[in-house]
Structure 1
Amino acid sequence: MASEIEKPKHLKNKRRAFVKRNGKKLVRKIAAFQSRQSKVPDTPKIDNKYFPFLSEFTDNWEAIQEEARAVLKFRETIPSFHEISPDQYRLSTESNWKTFVLFGFGQRLEKNASLAPKTAAILENVPDLQTAMFSILAPGYHIPAHKGVTKGILRSHIGLIIPKDREKCRIRVDDTITAWKEGEIFVFDDTYEHEVWNDTDEERVILLFDFDRPMKFWGRFLNSAFLQVMKLTAFYQDPKKNLQTAEERLEAAIRTADANMEAMSDPAG
């Protein structure tokens, strides 16, 4: 029988485990209130009609796809999800799920964004954007069933580079299964159980971004307060530090690649 995935050493910290365990209990209590405050349906998937800003993504998806392809030239340097967020060690293993982050916790990552300027500019128009990334899933990988942290944030996916046998590359949210399609976008509530399969021999690339759920005043107030508290914890501080390291590593890789190209084109070399 296969052994359970072992937690990274720093995640065995008792204080961190206590915060995580009790934080989940608090989040569940808050979720019911956020649901009542929501201005959009509290359903696993939510109709695009509630989010008019999504049309800019579908109108420009090929430009976004082109920038994603350019980023993939540095695939080996792009970090895995658990390298950015160590708490995701159960979902992300080895190099199976890589993430090229453009916005983290509401902050634009300038070095990364400079490699995908059109995508970053479109993302700037998303109301209350929290996080955005190119999500790169390896062939044959399965992301286990899990739930998101807060009902105050919604998630959107747009397909960019999808395997030819796309029906085998899919996401389940609650009891709804969706196969990604290039240029198509959808929104879902990730506090519902969801999991992902790429049962193909091709890589899958999407643009994933999170934004605040449209809510009435007290729902927005509570969500803002919750996120501010989260920013004081290791669950925010660790990814923030790791994102900076990942940006610097990618920048170094780009400099090396540019230097190599220059050396190859130098007739005196």
Structure 2
Amino acid sequence: MMKKDTATSKSDTGHNQNSRPLILRIGKKLRKKANLLASSQSLIPTTPLHQSDIFPWTSQLGEQWQGIAAEAAGILQNRSAVPPLKDISPDHARIAGDGNWKSFFLVGYGYRVEENCARAPKTAALIDQIPDLNSAFFSILEPGAVIPKHRGVTRGLVTCHLGLDIPVPKENCWMQVDDQRVHWKNGEWLVFDDSYSHEVKNETGQTRVILLIQVKRPMRLLGKVTLDLALWGIRRSPFVQDARQNLDKWEEAFRLAEDNRAA
């Protein structure tokens, strides 16, 4: 994994857990104004759902979905060492508290996880070509997983899901975005604005696997500059920096699981 520089590491050791609720409250107050600005500056519709061709790069990744799925399947051979999202990011505990939502990060808020990218080289090479990439990871929902209603951090980002291993019947594994219920399909994209209220349920006995991509919303200059400043702050916040530390710990567990399988 990319190691933190000395300045960042020093600031991390000084994180005051008591300050986190205050930071989150301030962030929530600013989010509404930031989302209004993003809506006014957006170069694409601000509807809850989008057609995938709104981003030309989705076509190339969609054509390669089987190779991406094969790399995800290889990762899941060590599924016990793939971390639950709540263990990476404690700030997601409310929506990922049951531990059934797991995430294998390739890129998180602009930070590339080198060891994980080496484990999925074809996928990593494809996501390297995505303009304005913020995050990319294999998102795994275990059977019976529930992600309650929530909203994303900012309307300045757009979330894209590529179906890799979708349970059947697909109607029993669903996502509700605003007032619309949608289902994943292997090799197809779901593109949505996660600043709208959304929830997810896997009401099957099978595991759902997707490639989750998050990119910057195309916006006019004022919106773009404002978003870049906001993401700069988020990247340096405890929200992201603590997650990077936690990923380092899980990296050791994954490496051990690989060694045990090879033995």
Distance (whole Å) between structure 2 residues aligned to residue 14 and residue 84 of structure 1: 19
Question: How far off is 1:252 after superposition?
Answer: 2.6
Equivalent in 77, 101, 104 of residue 105 of structure 2:
101
Structure-1 residue corresponding to 2:205: 201
**1:48-59 residue pairs with structure 2 within 5 A?**
48-59=52-63
Equivalent in 35, 41, 58 of residue 39 of structure 2:
35
**1:168-207 residue pairs with structure 2 within 5 A?**
168-207=172-211
Question: How far off is 1:49 after superposition?
Answer: 2.4
**1:52-131 residue pairs with structure 2 within 5 A?**
52-131=56-135
Q: Secondary structure at the match of 2:19?
A: helix
Distance (whole Å) between structure 1 residues aligned to residue 36 and residue 99 of structure 2: 36
In the alignment, structure 1 residue 224 sits paired with structure 2 residue 228: yes
- Structure 1 residue runs without a partner (length 5+): 1-10, 261-269
Question: How far off is 1:94 after superposition?
Answer: 4.2
Is the contact between residue 134 and residue 205 of structure 1 (CA under 8 Å) also seen in structure 2? yes
Amino acid of the residue matched to residue 59 of structure 2? Answer: S
Structure-1 residue corresponding to 2:8: none
Distance (whole Å) between structure 2 residues aligned to residue 210 and residue 105 of structure 1: 9
Structure-1 residue corresponding to 2:10: none
Q: Secondary structure at the match of 2:22?
A: helix
Distance (whole Å) between structure 2 residues aligned to residue 47 and residue 37 of structure 1: 20
Is the contact between residue 143 and residue 196 of structure 1 (CA under 8 Å) also seen in structure 2? yes
Q: Secondary structure at the match of 2:25?
A: helix
In the alignment, structure 1 residue 240 sits paired with structure 2 residue 244: yes
Is the contact between residue 38 and residue 213 of structure 1 (CA under 8 Å) also seen in structure 2? yes
The size of the alignment, in residue pairs, is 249
- Structure 2 residue runs without a partner (length 5+): 1-14
Q: Secondary structure at the match of 2:256?
A: helix
Distance (whole Å) between structure 2 residues aligned to residue 61 and residue 148 of structure 1: 26
Structure-2 residue corresponding to 1:213: 217
Structure-2 residue corresponding to 1:138: 142
Is the contact between residue 111 and residue 251 of structure 1 (CA under 8 Å) also seen in structure 2? no
Question: How far off is 1:18 after superposition?
Answer: 1.1
Is the contact between residue 166 and residue 179 of structure 1 (CA under 8 Å) also seen in structure 2? yes
Equivalent in 162, 167, 182 of residue 163 of structure 1:
167
Residues 148-171 of structure 1 show CA distances to partners (whole Å, capped at 9, x for unaligned) of: 011111100011111121111011
TM-score normalised by structure 1 residue count: 0.89
Amino acid of the residue matched to residue 186 of structure 1? Answer: L
TM-score normalised by structure 2 residue count: 0.91
Residues 96-130 of structure 1 show CA distances to partners (whole Å, capped at 9, x for unaligned) of: 11111111111221111111111111111111111
In the alignment, structure 1 residue 18 sits paired with structure 2 residue 22: yes
Amino acid of the residue matched to residue 102 of structure 1? Answer: L
- Root mean square deviation of aligned Cα: 1.5
Is the contact between residue 106 and residue 112 of structure 2 (CA under 8 Å) also seen in structure 1? yes
Q: Which structure has the larger Rg over C-alpha atoms? A: 1
Moved more, 65-74 or 228-237: 228-237
Q: Percent identity?
A: 41
Q: Secondary structure at the match of 2:163?
A: strand
Amino acid of the residue matched to residue 135 of structure 1? Answer: S
